Amino acid sequence: MTIIADIDLRIIRLLLADGSLTNAAIAARLHTSEATVRRRRNRLEQEGYIRLVGSVNPVKLGFNSVAIIGVQAVANRIAAVEQALQKLPEVHLLGLCTGGYDLMLEAWLRSNEDLVRFTTESLARIEGIVRTDVFQFLKLSKFYGWSGALPGIDQPALI
């Protein structure tokens, strides 16, 4: 289990709520020095705990067909299938998983027709895929990074 300092968690919580906060603004909210925040924030980035990027609403960008797709693959081809899926620009989240699927992915497409093409052409071309199941979102109400919370360890009273 990874142990992370309380101040680092508080910095992460603030950045989840507003990634544009300056080190000085974070320091003021946490009652610490800007140098402390800068040093800890740089370490969090360098060690891969955080990566500051823009978080987008796919529907606002015209991706009206967002789906989670479960992928079953031939056992000795899972790694190759994973590598092939990583290269597809429509795939925004991909992971090896347990359960009925070997891999799960999230795909963003402009239309239902694009989703059909993606599953029947792009995925069908990948050697080793045995089966896919598509779970299309009808409505998106929460997006990655928009909650500002850390499930299981979030304590808003600390910030």
pLDDT, tens only, 42-98: 999 999 999 888 778 888 889 999 999 999 999 999 999 999 999 999 999 999 999
Average pLDDT score over residue span 36-41: 97
Domains observed in the chain: 6-54 (1.10.10.10), 65-136 (3.30.70.920)
Cβ partners under 8 Å of residue 86, min gap 6: 94
Q: Comparing 32 with 159, which gets the higher pLDDT?
A: 32
15-23: list long-range contacts, CB under 8 Å, 24+ apart. 15/41, 15/50, 15/52, 16/145, 16/147, 16/148, 16/149, 16/150, 17/148, 18/148, 19/52, 19/53, 19/54, 19/55, 19/145
Per-residue confidence (pLDDT) for residue 25, from 0 to 100: 97
pLDDT in tens, 101-143: 999 999 999 999 999 999 999 999 999 999 999 999 998 887 7
pTM for the whole thing?
A: 0.76
